[in-house]
Amino acid sequence: MNFTPVDWAIVVGYLVTTLAVGLVGKRYVGTVSHYLVAGRELGLYVGIATLAATEIGTITFMYNGEFGYRYGFAAFAPALISGLVMIFVGRTGFVIRRFRDLRLMTVPEYFEVRYSRGLRIVTGVLVALGGILNMGVFLRIEGEFLTVVSGIDSRYLVGVMTAILLLELVYTVLGGMVSVVITDFLQYVLLSVATILVSIYAVTFAGWGHIVSKVTTVMGHAGFSPIANPKFGITFLVWQTLLWLSLHTCWQTTAMRVFSTKSAETSKRVMTWTGFIFLGRGMLPMLWGIAALTLYGTGALHRGVPQPVVAGQTLAPIDAMPAMLAHILGPGVRGVVVAGMLAATMSVNSSYLLGWSAVISQDVILPVRQALGRGALGARAQIFVNRIANLFVSLFLMFWGLYYTPPGAVYLYLNITGTIFLAGAFVCVVGGLYWRRSNVLGGYVAMLAGAAGAIVPFFILKWNENVTGFAAFGLALCGLVVGSLLGRGER
């Protein structure tokens, strides 16, 4: 056990405070708009905090750490792209300004506004499928992080996962977006402090000179240049640019923050400033991964990189970073860092639970009811349906997290599962907003071609990730153009 009583006290104190603060949110929930988009009243600073906290989780630290461990400084390229693209979206208002003006609550809702109810339902199903598969690996990896850093026996991984899920479920189900935003603020502060602390510790312990020397020895030029690195190259960089453009505009949990702000202008400013945070969100944990490679990368070569060996035991690359933290952080600091990581975990999971369950309830269940000729549901009934969807998503996450292990780097698995719906959704949204001829047939073909372009090459043909991602976006674009030209004009 690596934890001292001081560390436990810090972590338990954080958990109790979060639960109490989260439950406060319930008293402010009066309407569906409060429950899903915080009453559309978020200001700039809380907007930044909730958006950053939503997209920075322990899972983010883990997959970025693994990416840094495997690919050295070249791994910084997607982190840089993610930040720059977000700043671009914020400065120009590309997609998000019009989204905010439409007063939406979910991304698939746009598809009914612009295309048809049927396409909204199809998009809702694909968004929920891709989103939940994406989130499906979170719990296991977060549980691994906590057991490695705290030293809890790995037999208790399931218990740790269940406890994390139940805690965040309680306040998310009861208080919806209001509770999520309040806890996000607290969690943002804590996770940021932890991020800065770990970065200082990692560089201090590994030493900048040793870090550079290790990457040079192990990877050579490919460890620095994303163009020379065989895993990346120009196609990867273009795919990452498209992917992040679609993530920052059409990813449900990010879009919900845009919908929750006071105005379109506020959403643009939130996006711009969070773009700078995104640079650190990627690069800092990647640096921790490179530091872990420097300190523990002494094992046999696997795919060109030495496996991490800690205390005589060979680990998977993704576990190198948490193992490093367990060794370099002192008592007290370890408690703060684990509390910060728990904060990150809970802020992401609660937002994602809310995001995907909102899509299931608002874009699948309710439109299907309407299509069947049932009457509209009142606010209380809609909130109830959302809560049930929340529970359903949680149960699925538990089982998927237990039985599925992603092949290869987790970062790339997450990219591909997101691409299942992002390729089609992004193309349809941009086409719908900026191309008058896009129509319902084009929308259907784009969504289905984008999903097939992600699922078939990756899960069946076993193509590599950047070719798969490229294929999905290309097929979706062709689908929208060809379908729209063959269809019956604009709607």
Partner 1 sequence: MNLWLIFWALMLVVAGGSFAAITVVVTVRGFRDLRQWFASLSRQNADP
Contact residues toward partner 1 (CB under 8 A) are 28, 30-31, 34, 38-39, 41-49, 52, 73, 76, 79-80, 83, 178, 181-182, 185, 188-189, 192-193, 195-196, 199, 212, 216, 220-221, 224-225, 273, 276-277, 279-284, 287
Report how far residue 82's alpha carbon sits from residue 281's, in angstroms, rounded to the nearest whole number. Answer: 9
Q: Which residues of 405-426 are buried (b: 16+ CB within 10 A; e: fewer)?
A: ebeebbbbbbbbbbbbbbbbbb
Compute the half-sphere exposure of residue 273: CA atoms within 13 Å on the CB side of its CA: 15
The two tokens of residue 368 are: 């299907």
The two tokens of residue 450 are: 């984008």
Q: Which is nearer to partner 1, 204 or 405 (CB)?
A: 204
C-beta separation of 47 from 216 below 8 A? no
Least distance from C-beta 47 to partner 1, angstroms?
8
Q: Which is nearer to partner 1, 31 or 235 (CB)?
A: 31
Least distance from C-beta 41 to partner 1, angstroms?
5
Least distance from C-beta 273 to partner 1, angstroms?
6
Q: Which is nearer to partner 1, 126 or 305 (CB)?
A: 305
Least distance from C-beta 283 to partner 1, angstroms?
5
Q: Which is nearer to partner 1, 277 or 423 (CB)?
A: 277
Least distance from C-beta 272 to partner 1, angstroms?
11
Cα→Cα distances 426→224, 242, 245, 470, Å: 31, 9, 8, 14
DSSP secondary structure letter of residue 115: T
Cα→Cα distances 354→36, 63, 349, 465, Å: 8, 22, 8, 28
Q: Which is nearer to partner 1, 56 or 441 (CB)?
A: 56
Instruction: Report the Cα 64 to chain-centroid distance in Å.
Output: 12
Least distance from C-beta 30 to partner 1, angstroms?
4
Q: Which is nearer to partner 1, 82 or 438 (CB)?
A: 82
Residue type, 27: R
Least distance from C-beta 187 to partner 1, angstroms?
12
Least distance from C-beta 418 to partner 1, angstroms?
23
Q: Which is nearer to partner 1, 223 or 469 (CB)?
A: 223
Q: Which is nearer to partner 1, 28 or 88 (CB)?
A: 28
Report how far residue 307's alpha carbon sits from residue 293's, in angstroms, rounded to the nearest whole number. Answer: 8
Least distance from C-beta 373 to partner 1, angstroms?
31
Residue 310: which H helix or E strand, with range? strand 305-310
Give the burial class of 386: count Cβ atoms within 10 A of its Cβ; 0-12 exposed, 13-18 middle, 19 or more buried. buried
86: number of Cβ within 10 Å = 28
Q: At what angle do helices 410-434 and 440-455 cross, to 10 degrees?
A: 170
Sequence-separated (6 or more) residues with CB below 8 Å from residue 234 = 227
Q: Which is nearer to partner 1, 182 or 324 (CB)?
A: 182
Q: Which is nearer to partner 1, 277 or 410 (CB)?
A: 277
Least distance from C-beta 39 to partner 1, angstroms?
5
Report how far residue 98's alpha carbon sits from residue 242's, in angstroms, rounded to the nearest whole number. Answer: 19
CA dihedral 150, 153, 155, 156 (to 10 degrees): -40
